[in-house]
Amino acid sequence: MRIAIVGGGVAGSYLASLMANKHDIVIYERQSYEKFYTVCAWGTSLPELRKLSSKIGLNFDDYVLFAGKRMIVQLRDEELEIPLKGLCTFDKRRFVMDMHKGKEIIYGEAVRTAPTDKYDLVVDATGFSRSLLPRVGKDYFIPTLEYKVKYRNPPLDDFMVRPLPGLTGYLWYFPLDNGYAHVGAGDYYKQHVEYLNDFMRRHGGEVVMKIGRPVRISPPHLCQPIMQNNLVGVGESIGVVYPALGEGIIPGMHNAQLLASCIEEGRLQEYPSKVLKKFNVYEKVFQFIRKKIKGEFNLLRDFRLVLSAFLHMKLAEDRYGMVIRLKDWLRVVEG
Ligand SMILES: Cc1cc2nc3c(=O)[nH]c(=O)nc-3n(C[C@H](O)[C@H](O)[C@H](O)COP(=O)(O)OP(=O)(O)OC[C@H]3O[C@@H](n4cnc5c(N)ncnc54)[C@H](O)[C@@H]3O)c2cc1C
């Protein structure tokens, strides 16, 4: 097939890598080669990324910047210490650019209309912008701001997250290498800049880069259509982001695997229903987050939602890179 993948982020590039040599693929990427960047905190799970990378001939360990041992969760009046099982940061920019290698890729081209007449299949892998598929009716997203900070004496020696009041967002500190860290915050009600700058005032450090964009938390069932004739979405463009964390790297890669297998098996028509089934739990987790955000959450009434999110993560501790305990989860939910 002749396939255009619009968006050379992690989902589009992984899809292209999985299908390399099997199809005639062109990637269109809005950013230039020189300025290409991946706006993200670069946090992921080492065991899961090892598996996913090996499928495309990359050694994930070459990209790891920092492997954590524990994550501090700063609640209003206590700190939790979560043992880690592979949560790490990695050089996502270099990883994605290495996936670009050997592919036909056109940089600096922002595609506005799907070139469906020129290709057998066009993939909308444009992330939050969802440039080609129809707009999402009721879209939910979290605005974010992130600094790359250089420290002489880092204020923390491992991962830290601080949920914002009402769980409407959180502040994060993700260590990189050589004294650098990604320090950022996101909040549905846009209080994140205040929290982030307060952290910076207290802990100092030299801001060497400021980045940010919204993260979509609307799950796939709210991001329909997922496919329209020979135009199909993958990754954050169709809401494949774990809503409780705003985590989209592994979900986007899993989604790319699903799309690649639907294409290989000639079952593309089944792709939308398979996406909804595979990421079904995101709908429940989103309902929980939405209720928290809107101040409509009640632990007794909504316990089923809280439990779904807990069980989903508990059964996939390696994939999330951390030990998941009900008592921690309940404290975060109530905090
Ligand atoms: C501040 C922040 C921190 C985050 N931290 C983490 C984290 O630590 N771990 C994690 O798992 N997730 C994190 N996420 C979420 C994660 O980064 C995304 O969900 C994930 O990268 C989505 O992958 P994607 O390939 O679908 O989209 P993207 O990574 O956004 O890639 C889309 C690509 O499409 C290109 N593009 C857009 N429009 C067009 C167009 N019209 N034509 C051509 N190209 C176009 C863009 O330039 C981009 O390269 C974070 C998000 C933010 C904003």
Domain boundaries along the sequence of the chain: 2-334
Closest ligand 1 atom to Cα of 11: 25
Ligand 1 centroid vs 303 CA: distance in angstroms?
32
Residue-level pLDDT at 94: 98
Residue-level pLDDT at 334: 84
Closest ligand 1 atom to Cα of 216: 19
What class, spelled out in words, does domain 2-334 have in CATH? alpha beta
Which residues lie below 8 Å from residue 149, measured CB to CB, with a gap of 6+? 180, 181, 182, 183, 200, 205, 206, 207, 208
Closest ligand 1 atom to Cα of 89: 8
Asked if residues 133 and 191 have their Cβ atoms less than 8 Å apart, the reply is no
CB of 28 closer than 6 A to ligand 1? Answer: yes
**DSSP state letter for 164:** P
Q: How far apart are CA 52 and CA 30, in angstroms?
A: 25
Residue-level pLDDT at 335: 72
Counting ligand 1 atoms within 8 A of each CB, the residue from 71, 171, 247 with the most, and so the one to mutate, is: 247
CB of 217 closer than 6 A to ligand 1? Answer: no
Residue-level pLDDT at 297: 94
Q: How far apart are CA 91 and CA 150, in angstroms?
A: 16
Q: What is the pLDDT along the chain (335 residues), one digit of tens a residue?
A: 999 999 999 999 999 999 998 999 999 999 999 999 999 999 999 999 999 999 999 999 999 999 999 999 999 989 999 999 999 999 999 999 999 999 999 999 999 999 999 999 999 999 999 999 999 999 999 999 999 999 999 999 999 999 999 999 999 999 999 999 999 999 999 999 999 999 999 999 999 999 999 999 999 999 999 999 999 999 999 999 999 999 999 999 999 999 999 999 999 999 999 999 999 999 999 999 999 999 999 999 999 999 999 999 999 999 999 999 999 999 999 87
